[in-house]
Amino acid sequence: MGAGSVPARYLVYFQYLGTDFNGVAAVRGVQRAVGVQNYLEEAAERLNSVMPVKFTISSRTDAGVHALSNAAHLDIQRRSDLPPFSPEVLTEALNTHLKHPAIRVLQAFRVPSHFHARHAAISRTYLYRLATGCPRPDRLPVFERNRCWALQADCLDVAAMQEAAQHLLGTHDFSAFQSAGSPASSPVRTLRRASVSPDPASPFVLPEESRQLQFWSMEFESQSFLYKQVRRMTAVLVAVGLGALMPAQVKAILESRDPLGKHQSRVAPAHGLFLKSVLYEGLGPTSMQPPRRPSETQYRSHR
């Protein structure tokens, strides 16, 4: 049996601006909507695999949500007289054939045939960007539109937001922050980190505007999240920052387990959310290092 006669499995990392897509997942059928996965699989068709190539996505993101680094696994079976693609060649080939400029493959690794990009992830981190001091949408620089949630308020009470976020840390039933349609069998999740911090001045803001506009980042880390959990937690913490909620009320909302309550039913806009990283056991950060092949059982994402 030749080296290329059995499928080779790869883990690939990719990024995208989500503005033009109906989420990351492929849209099947004749609908006009399209997902990032559609373009990835269309590019993979050009690799002449014996069997059709399907991407199994690690982390589902909704329409308008972006990713600095998402992950997926795929199998490629070449003709029996051809060796498997090297990870570097696969990365270059996919980028060459990608037909949408808002998608880029970052890196690829060979992985065992039993590896699963969704189930093997040990950590996922989401970043949510906010802007204050923006009384009208047209006050936001065009380069920042669809990249953050622009708030009319001049400032946020970050100390109150940080206090409120402490109530969300740890293992809880997050039903109050879960939207309908979640495929999760259990609403219990462990939130390892929730932070709020000011961002450096955006390079896209003119000096005369920088006195009014302030950018902020919120980050959330867990092994996995419920459907729209991050955007609903963000909306509640922003309400605390604007003085509409007290930090202690966030604890009461969490304990209510009621997703339809007065304060927790709001969902932050999709366009401010970025999937920042997906981590796998054992493989260190690689974004500033030359590509390297991990051991057969240890993987971590390009960050």
For residue 272, what is the domain's CATH number?
Answer: 3.30.70.660
Check whether residue 145 and residue 239 sit in a common domain.
Answer: yes
Strand 188-198 with 214-222, pairing? antiparallel
Alpha carbons 64 and 274: distance in angstroms, whole number? 10
Query: What is 36-79 written as a DSSP string?
Result: HHHHHHHHHHTT--SS----EESS---TT-EEEEEEEEEEE---
Residue 297 inside a domain? The answer is: no
Q: Any alpha helices (H) in 167-221, and if so which ranges?
A: none
Residue 116 inside a domain? The answer is: no
Residue 10 annotated in ligand binding: no
Catalytic positions, please? 62
Residue 294 inside a domain? The answer is: no
Alpha carbons 138 and 145: distance in angstroms, whole number? 9
Check whether residue 140 and residue 263 sit in a common domain.
Answer: yes
Q: Which two tokens stand for residue 154?
A: 């001049």
Check whether residue 148 and residue 255 sit in a common domain.
Answer: yes
Check whether residue 102 and residue 141 sit in a common domain.
Answer: no
Alpha carbons 301 and 303: distance in angstroms, whole number? 6
Domain of residue 173, residue span: 122-280
Check whether residue 262 and residue 142 sit in a common domain.
Answer: yes
Check whether residue 131 and residue 61 sit in a common domain.
Answer: no
Strand 170-173 with 149-150, pairing? unpaired
Strands (E), the chain: 8-16, 56-57, 66-76, 103-111, 123-132, 149-150, 170-173, 188-198, 214-222, 273-279
pTM for the whole structure: 0.89
Give phi and psi for 9, each to the nearest 5: -100, 140
Contact 108, 86 (CB under 8 A): no
- pLDDT (tens place) for every residue of the chain, 303 residues total: 444 468 999 999 999 999 999 999 998 876 777 999 999 999 999 999 999 999 999 999 999 999 999 999 999 999 988 999 999 999 999 999 999 999 999 999 999 999 999 999 999 999 999 999 988 888 888 999 999 999 999 999 999 999 999 999 999 999 999 988 777 889 999 999 999 999 887 888 877 776 789 999 999 999 999 999 999 999 999 999 999 999 999 999 999 999 888 887 899 999 999 999 999 986 534 433 333 433 333 334 333
Check whether residue 49 and residue 165 sit in a common domain.
Answer: no
